[in-house]
């Protein structure tokens, strides 16, 4: 069992925190305030970023010292939103938030995952009628293995998890957010996950 700090107490952060605590992990949730985040990070082995992606790089870079040596799971999406509040464009086209975070935090092991689905699917992947995919992107295989274990605790079966490769592969999964407004407009907030059918 791990000690986790979840940054962000919106639907994503709260949902993941509840599910990981239920699985037996020690979980603290911090809102976006830097002081609360630093305290939570200090006590944790693993940190999960569920703060709004557009501000995440600045927010987490400021937390570089407490994040040193930790695994940082980034589930956020860095987008420019349209007037309806849905993602309209990527904030880092030709790159990705995860790559920017890894470059800014060289002593932290960044793993990108879970940003390619409606938030409710993150902690209930078995609720879909088709097999969903959870992608892993990151430089460190050991960190990805640990994150894969947490995904298992959230209900993800091993064959649903695809390790795409290094942190640069986050560019693909972050671009997948471009599907989201169209999927939601055509079918509403029904659970879905961008997935690889094989």
Q: Contact residues for a second copy (CB under 8 A)?
A: 89-90, 93-94, 128-133, 162-165, 169, 171-173, 175-176, 178-179, 182-183, 185-187, 190-198
Q: Which is nearer to a second copy, 41 or 114 (CB)?
A: 114
Q: Are 3 and 25 in contact (CB under 8 A)?
A: yes
Give me the least distance between CB of 181 and a second copy, in Å please.
8
Residue 151's alpha-carbon distances to 39, 58, 114, 161, 174, in angstroms, are: 25, 27, 9, 8, 18
Give me the least distance between CB of 146 and a second copy, in Å please.
19
Q: Which is nearer to a second copy, 5 or 173 (CB)?
A: 173
Strand (E) or helix (H) holding 70? none
Q: Which is nearer to a second copy, 69 or 94 (CB)?
A: 94
Residue 98's alpha-carbon distances to 40, 116, 130, 135, in angstroms, are: 21, 14, 28, 13
Q: Are 171 and 99 in contact (CB under 8 A)?
A: yes
Give me the least distance between CB of 25 and a second copy, in Å please.
26
Q: Which is nearer to a second copy, 30 or 122 (CB)?
A: 122
CA distance 187 to 183: 6
CA distance 67 to 69: 6
Give me the least distance between CB of 147 and a second copy, in Å please.
16
């Amino acid at each position: 069992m791990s000690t986790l700090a979840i940054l962000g107490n919106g639907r994503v952060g709260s949902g993941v925190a509840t599910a990981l605590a239920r699985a037996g992990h020690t979980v603290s949730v911090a809102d976006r305030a830097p002081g609360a985040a630093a305290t939570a990070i200090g006590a944790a082995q693993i940190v999960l970023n569920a703060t709004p992606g557009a501000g995440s790089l600045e927010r987490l870079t400021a937390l570089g010292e407490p994040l040193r040596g930790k695994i940082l799971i980034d589930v956020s999406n860095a987008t420019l939103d349209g007037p309806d509040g849905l993602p309209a464009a990527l904030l880092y086209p030709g790159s990705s938030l995860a790559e920017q975070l890894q470059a800014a935090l060289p002593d932290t092991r960044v793993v990108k995952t879970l940003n390619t689905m409606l938030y409710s699917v993150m902690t209930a992947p078995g609720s879909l009628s088709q097999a969903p995919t959870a992608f892993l992107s990151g430089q460190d295989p050991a960190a990805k293995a640990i994150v894969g274990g947490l995904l298992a605790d959230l209900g993800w079966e091993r064959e649903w998890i695809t390790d795409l490769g290094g942190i640069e592969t986050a560019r693909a999964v972050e671009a997948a957010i471009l599907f989201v407004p169209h999927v939601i407009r055509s079918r509403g907030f029904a659970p879905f996950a961008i997935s690889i059918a094989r």
